[in-house]
Structure 1
Amino acid sequence: MELSALLRSAAMARSSSPCWHWLCGRRSPQAPFSARACFSSCRYQMLQKQRGLEKPVAEGSSRVSILGPAQPLGREELLRLLEASLVHAEGDLVAISKPSGLPVAGKPGELTLLSLLTDLSQKLGLPENLQVIKAAGKETSGLVLLSSCQDTIQHLQDFYVQCRKAGQPEITYCAVTTRIPAALEGEVRTGLKLMQVEDCELVVPVASPSRNSLQRKEVKNTLTRFKVLDSCNGCALLQLQPLTAFPKQLLVHLTLILSPVLGDHVYSSRVGTVLGEPFLLPAESTLPRVQVLDNFLLDKLQLQQQQVHRLPLHLHLHQLLLPAASPSSSSMVLTAPPPSFFLQTLHLLGLTLPQDPDRQ
């Protein structure tokens, strides 16, 4: 059965009960929207192929472009892409996988995820009035967690606050970096602040923030755990788990370990090279520019430097932790397969994403 038809059929069976019942540790026998849609990477890509959106990546395939579209996608194209991106739907809890380049919110009249949600909900028979709980940033692909139930939203927000207080990562990203970190795993700790650099508002690190700057919230102490999942050809596939939240935190933290994200056209310019050895340039005076890749990497990616400005950010919100449905059950992990361009880049670079990367 076609996905949208299946979901519409499930939605018609919804009862008057407003919320997903794991909130009180039980499921109603008439829990709304009980059809579940958790797809493996193969199923997810198959749906995209059926809808004519993206070709699945096959071993040895070179047909999938790793470049972003030459022109921004229109409303109908984005809706078709999102329609094939449903990762999870149960009760009033919904998760989709957002494409890179689509902002969650924006100015009136702009194409954003929020501006598309009403039409998307109608197409897939999803609950109305969905609100964003967690979401990948504009240039980041990956999970967006949504709900139409205020109790569910509050419960999840409280759960994520508790995770942060306990030092338990609730979000896991995967990223392709243009260099291999010196350590195979570790932590990046630094203060971060927003700073105006000429015409750009940029995030800059503050190694030793003063108590006053922290109290005035001019600077925030931040922490990210990283782990190298695979490395080859001078590049790496990293697992990233931020334990704090700050704009562009992951991109800036990865420059500090001299391993910028592939497709980072803002902060990668802070990592320079002398005789092939990387070093940090001053963040306060280094302006954004299109990422410069060495010839060896360009050859591996089958690109020319003139094309690199179309290279999307290879940062993907891969997994998201959900609270246990009851005291006797365990937490659930939602997983969104990386987009086709990301998988094709892994293939070209000889990198492999483990099926179930260790979240710890």
Structure 2
Amino acid sequence: MNQGWVYTDRITPAAAGLSVLDFYAARYRHSSRAVWRDRILSGQIRCDDVPLAPDDRLEQGQTLAYHRPPWQEPAVPLGFEVLYEDGDLMAIAKPSGLPVLPGGGFLTHTLLHQLRLRYPENPPIPVHRLGRGTSGVMVLGKSPLARSVLSRQLRDATATARDPQAAHPIRKTYRALVGVSDLPDEFTLTTPIGKVDYPALGYVYAASPTGLPSYSDGKVIQRRSDSTLVEVTIRTGRPHQIRIHLAAAGLPLLGDPLYGVGGLPLAVVPAADGTVPVPGDMGYHLHAYRLVLPHPRTQEPLEMLCPAPALLQPASG
């Protein structure tokens, strides 16, 4: 069991006048209206440490606190290998299954919490994310300079992504497994990615004509009788970009429980408890294989490699 958590919300003009129950049921659709009512009645929702009632009306500027009791988090792999480390940055091999940041049912079973436990004096901070089901190399900033420079370089890379001839100092390359395909040996995917409505969560990121520009450059590594092994280098860093781009091209990652052909969430019927597939669900095969970047202090090029799982390596013969 973890120690529980307090989630806070500040009431905006748009939410003023709503009842406490209406606010939480509309804003956090991962739980039903009945569940939120029970939480409110049990005193878990407070303002200035005073429990609220379901029908209490909200006022602009109030800060609400949801006191979530301790809960048992799902088991995940908590260890990780350090691939590179100096005074400014660290690169690690994140295992598939380990969330990077708290969210959903995860609080302490996250990479961020494990970093704080392992390095209590000065924990390294992730400067980019990998999905829970994605394994491979991640870079972390240890010094303020590294965090600032790497964050700026990632923003600059996204800003210049439209031009394939532009300098791309940070290059992130992944291995992925899709079904049998007629993909060309080399390809570029440019489907825009944005928020789309999704039951229970409110929204997920997916293919959207009104989304943000997104660019992925890929090549086929091996064509197999039952699958295709591809390598994808992303020029932008949109959420779940490779999963969405390959699905939009008609080739969802094998085992992906969320994204179907077209790059949109699969049509699902919620389970009896109201749950639906979410982006953090497992089953797909995606691995951050290579990360190339200039060192934030010296600008010398660095290449970090994390060997792919056997299924994402070319088969011999």
TM bin (shorter chain): 0.5 to 0.7
Inter-partner Cα distance in structure 2 for 1:311 and 1:154 = 32
With over 3 angstroms needed to count, the CA separation of the structure-2 counterparts of 1:167 and 1:138, relative to structure 1, is farther
SS at structure 2 position matched to 1:221:
coil
Partner of 2:152: 158
Alignment check: 8 A CA contact 1:141 1:315 kept: yes
Identity %: 23
How far residue 346 of structure 1 moved from its aligned partner, in angstroms, is: 4.6
- Aligned partners of 2:122, 2:266: CA distance in 1, in Å? 46
How many Å separate the matches in 2 of 1:284 and 1:157? 30
Q: 1:114 to 1:241 in 2, by over 3 A?
A: same
Change (3 A) 1:319 1:262: same
Residue in 2 aligned with 1:292?
Answer: none
Determine the structure 2 residue equivalent to 1:20: none
Matched, 1:335 2:305: yes
CA 1:94–1:196 in structure 2 vs 1: closer, same or farther (change >3 Å)?
same
1:257 paired to 2:221 = no
Structure 1 residue 326: Cα displacement: 8.4
Structure 2 alignment gaps of length 5 or more: 1-72, 161-165, 271-280
Distance 1:202 1:234, change over 3 A: same
**When the two structures are aligned, how many residues end up with a matched partner?**
224
1:112 aligned residue: 110
One-letter amino acid of the counterpart of residue 220, structure 1:
L
User: Is the Cα–Cα contact under 8 Å of residues 226 and 238 in structure 1 kept in the other structure?
Assistant: yes
State how far apart, in whole Å, the 1-side matches of 2:91 and 2:74 are: 24
In the other structure, the counterpart of 1:320 is 291
Matched, 1:174 2:175: yes
AA of the residue aligned to 1:317: A
Structure 1 unaligned regions, length at least 5: 1-70, 210-218, 272-279, 290-309, 353-360
> Aligned residue for 1:190?
191
Q: After superposition, where does 1:201-350 map in structure 2 within 5 Å? A: 201-207=203-209, 209=210, 219-267=211-259, 270-271=260-261, 280=262, 283=264, 286-287=267-268, 312-323=283-294, 331-338=301-308, 342-343=309-310, 345-346=311-312
Richer in helix (by share): 1
SS at match of 1:174: strand
Counterparts of 1:130 and 1:160, CA distance in 2: 17
- Structure 1 vs Structure 2 CA RMSD: 3.0
Shift of 1:284: 7.1
Give the number of the structure whose residues are more often strand, by fraction.
2
Q: Tell me the residue number matched to 1:139.
A: 133
> Which aligned runs of 4 or more in structure 1 are off by greater than 6 angstroms?
none
Change (3 A) 1:117 1:183: same
